[in-house]
Amino acid sequence: MTAPLLTVAGVHRTFGSGPAAVHALDDISFEVEPGTMVALVGRSGSGKTTLLNVIGGLDRPDAGSVTVDGVDVTGLDEDGLSRLRREKVSYVFQTFGLIPVLSAAENVGVPLRLARAEAAERERRVELLLELVGLADHARQRPGELSGGQQQRVAIARALAASPRLLIADEPTGQLDAETGLAVMALLRGIVESEGVTALVSTHDPVMMALADRVIQIADGHLLP
């Protein structure tokens, strides 16, 4: 039996205290098998982003544990969390998060520079990824010269640069029109299959839910059965 790539066990996260306390996550537990795409679905304020941040080590739970590829995320210090995000977990944000002064190729290469990859290997990987996301002809363009859909494709390529085990995408099509969003979602689906990545994607989009191997629903900090 294959071990889960992601295990979330009894996670709680509360913001504030007393009567004003907000229980963003309340006893969240689930597992995700390697090489699958999971859609995390819930309304705004349901706890989706908080959960993704806890899984990716951007936030710490008040109780419970998160394990990614055998690593106890909740037990890591800051150096360990930085290493986790360099080697095992990558993010794709709704707002793209590209560096405006760098070209598409340079943006994709940033994680490889941080990992101190050899220049030849870095160039080969960047070229491969830009081809994978259909932007080989746009390598030298800066984000401001690209459409929203193209920028999100660059962000996805950058997230894959260091060959992460887990790709976390927080509403990756939230700023895109329906047609472009569908293309990006289909790209993510294809990447899960071609790169062997495990993807956890928060979304409102029924098309993304249809493309996912599994749908997890969250409401008011609780998982729905």
pLDDT by residue (tens digit) across 39-51? 999 988 899 999 9
Please report, for the chain, the start and end positions of each structural domain, with discontinuous segments joined by +: 34-59+77-223
C-alpha to C-alpha distance for 92 and 182, rounded to whole angstroms: 16
- The whole model's pTM is what? 0.90
The pLDDT, as a whole number, for residue 114 is 87
For residue 181, the model assigns a pLDDT of: 83
Asked if 152 contacts 128 with a C-beta cutoff of 8 angstroms, the reply is: no
pLDDT of residue 162: 86
The whole-number pLDDT of residue 185 equals 86
> What's residue 18's pLDDT?
87
| pLDDT score at 194 | 87
Whether CATH 3.40.630.40 fits 34-59+77-223: no
Q: Residue 31's pLDDT is what?
A: 97
Tell me the pLDDT of the chain (225 aa) as tens digits. Answer: 689 999 999 999 999 988 888 999 999 999 999 999 999 999 888 999 999 999 999 999 999 999 999 999 999 999 999 999 888 999 998 888 899 999 999 999 999 998 888 999 999 999 999 998 999 999 999 999 999 999 999 999 999 998 899 999 998 888 888 888 888 888 889 888 888 899 999 988 888 888 899 999 999 999 998
Q: What angle do CA 34, 38, 39 make, to 5 degrees?
A: 170
Q: What is the pLDDT of residue 184?
A: 84
Tokens at residue 37, please?
A: 């795409």
